Amino acid sequence: MNILVTGASGQLGSTLKSIANTVPGLHFAFASSKQLDITDFEAVRNEMDKNNYAYCINCAAFTHVDNAESETDKAKLINVTGARNLALNCHEHKTVLIHISTDFVFDGYMNEPYREEDIARPIGFYGDTKYKGERAIINNLQEHFIIRTSWLYSEFGNNFMKTMLRLGAERDELSVVYDQVGTPTYARDLAKAILHIIKAHSIDYGVYHYSNEGVASWYDFAKAIFDEQGIQVTLNPIRSEAYPTPAARPKFSVLDKEKMKSTFKIDIPNWRDSLAVAIKAYAKLPA
């Protein structure tokens, strides 16, 4: 079974590459954004013409939340046009599309975990483009799995865990917001869930939520990182207003995973347990 992974040099793509050899019978083609530009319809068509892909896992996205407020055309091109290009080509080539979306499609004003059917109300341009990308897929391709995730981190790429480990080694004191609540998600757990869906040959297409179990603020996440590594640093909880950013963040973006768990019969680890695994994996990488 041939599988195309777009955006393969990012966190999730790199993670999929690191565990690809654990699944016999699946043959992956990993294409970075430079190798395959999903905003180029003909480039995507040519790639799919040359190979009989059963699945396409789209990890390509414009994910710079703050930059999306100023680079609107670029964010829309990648997150909306790119998603539509993949959906149209997957339809033409009878390929199932697994597309990664985000908790940022919600406004964060609820006080209970978001379900898949809850109304999307993005409060920033990044979330708006990701939601429009979802709609572009839904409107053009029946055979899709859209997986919304949150607070993704791993031993690869740029992410909060690695930033905190670096800053914790450089500084004696840090301030981190405590009034934004969600769930950290280890990319390896998400990657395993994606491969589980593929191995199950599921036709339960639609939108799903996946994050690790549990709830945390960014302050909680940072403290857990320092505790796990035994880093001594004074950590100050601050409100979001004390750390202004170009794009507003949802104050509450915990995702309900019941649909994912019941449909695919998977166990989802707690974020604290996965953090310990991630830090050990990062420590093993060559310097």
CA–CA gap between residue 205 and residue 219 (Å, rounded): 36
Q: Give yes or no for a contact between 129 and 79, defined as CB atoms under 8 angstroms apart.
A: yes
Give the three-class secondary structure for 103: helix
Q: Cα–Cα distance between 38 and 98 in angstroms, integer?
A: 14
Number of C-beta neighbours around residue 35 at 10 A: 13
Where does residue 139 rank: exposed (0-12), middle (13-18), buried (19+ CB within 10 A)? exposed
Rounded Cα distance, 240 and 64, in Å: 18
* Identified catalytic residue from 53, 55, 114, 126: 126
CA distances from 183 to 151, 210, 238, 286 (A): 6, 10, 18, 28
Domains, the chain: 2-159+182-215+253-271 (3.40.50.720)
In angstroms, what is the C-alpha Rg of the chain? Answer: 19
* Helices and strands counted in the chain (H then E): 10, 12
Q: How far is CA 274 from CA 25, 103, 242, 281, 284, in A?
A: 27, 19, 30, 10, 16
Residue 149 and residue 103 in contact, taking contact as beta carbons nearer than 8 Å:
yes
Spatial contact of 78 and 39, defined as CB atoms under 8 Å apart: yes
Question: How far is the C-alpha of 60 from the C-alpha of 246, rounded, in Å?
Answer: 23
Q: Which residues neighbour 256 within 8 Å (Cβ) at sequence distance 6 or greater?
A: 113, 114, 115, 116, 209
Q: Is 126 a catalytic residue?
A: yes
Find out whether 198 and 26 touch, Cβ atoms under 8 Å: yes
Give pLDDT tens digits for 54-95. 999 999 999 999 999 999 999 999 999 999 999 999 999 999
- The angle subtended at Cα 214 by Cα 219 and Cα 103, nearest 5°, is 80
Torsion over CA: 125, 44, 100, 65 (sign): negative
| pLDDT score at 55 | 98
pLDDT value, residue 286? 85
Interatomic CA distance for residues 236 and 223, integer angstroms = 10
Instruction: Tell me the β-bridge partners of 146.
Output: 99, 207
pTM for this predicted structure: 0.97
Task: Give the span between the Cα atoms of 156 and 145, in whole angstroms.
Answer: 24
Query: Residue-wise pLDDT tens for the chain (287 aa)?
Result: 999 999 999 999 999 999 999 989 999 999 999 999 999 999 999 999 999 999 999 999 999 999 999 999 999 999 999 999 999 999 999 999 999 999 999 999 998 999 999 999 999 999 999 999 999 999 999 999 999 999 999 999 999 999 999 999 999 999 999 999 999 999 999 999 999 999 999 999 999 999 999 999 999 999 999 999 999 999 999 999 999 999 999 999 999 999 999 999 999 999 999 999 999 999 998 87
Q: What's the sign of the alpha-carbon dihedral 190, 195, 199, 203?
A: positive
